[in-house]
């Protein structure tokens, strides 16, 4: 018997050759349903707009945390973004599930960034940039000489 479920779904779309994207995320579990849409300028990797809502939540006062979504606007999706997102929509003034969803949106966007490269770069340039970016992040991309 299942006693709990959780699903996170992220979709990313671009209509302008990858210069900007729209990230749609939904977090659902047995007690929550949270939606988030982020508009991201891929040229400077910054959130230009954000909206969403808490559709289902376990406590009546949870709804006020949705007001913090606007704090995501202007964030650069670079080193330290996890802390910035947590401060923007999480902590004791926010919602941990909203912060989790925003972080999942960013992680998916980083993955999509490589798909978007196929619109403008050669395979050789994609491989070079991918290896440089991911060097040291996992076994496959371990730093050369550390085998």
The whole-angstrom separation of Cα 64 and Cα 83 is 21
In this predicted model, what pLDDT tens digit does every residue of 71-118 receive, in sequence order? 999 999 988 999 999 999 999 999 999 999 999 999 999 888 878 877
- What local confidence, expressed as pLDDT, does residue 110 receive? 87
Q: Is residue 19 predicted with pLDDT exceeding 80?
A: yes
Q: Would the pLDDT of 145 be above 60?
A: no
Residue 20 has pLDDT above 70, yes or no: yes
Residue-wise pLDDT tens digits, 131-144: 887 888 888 888 76
Question: Mapping DSSP to helix (H, G, I), strand (E, B) and coil, where does residue 5 land?
Answer: coil
List C-alpha distances in Å: 79 to 23, 63, 83, 103.
19, 30, 9, 13
Predicted local distance difference test score (pLDDT) of residue 115:
81
Q: How confident is the model at residue 11 (pLDDT cuts 50, 70, 90)?
A: very high
**E strand map for 30-115:** 33-41, 46-56
Q: SS3 helix, strand, coil % of the chain, rounded to 5?
A: 40, 25, 35
Q: Is 50 helix (H, G, I), strand (E, B) or coil?
A: strand
pTM of the model: 0.85
CATH class name, domain 6-121: alpha beta
């Amino acid at each position: 018997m299942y006693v709990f479920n959780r699903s996170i779904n992220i979709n990313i779309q671009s209509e302008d050759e990858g210069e900007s994207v729209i990230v749609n995320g939904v977090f659902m579990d047995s007690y929550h349903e949270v939606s988030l849409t982020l508009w991201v300028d891929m040229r400077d990797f910054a959130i230009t707009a954000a909206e969403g809502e808490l559709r289902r939540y376990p406590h009546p006062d949870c709804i006020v945390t949705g007001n913090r979504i606007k704090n995501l606007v202007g964030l650069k999706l670079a080193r330290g973004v996890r802390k910035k997102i947590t401060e923007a929509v999480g902590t004791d003034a926010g919602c941990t599930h909203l912060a989790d969803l925003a972080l999942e949106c960013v992680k998916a966007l980083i993955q999509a960034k490589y798909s978007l490269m196929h619109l403008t770069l050669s395979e050789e340039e994609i491989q070079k940039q991918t290896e440089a970016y991911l060097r040291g992040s996992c076994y496959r991309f371990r730093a050369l000489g550390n085998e």
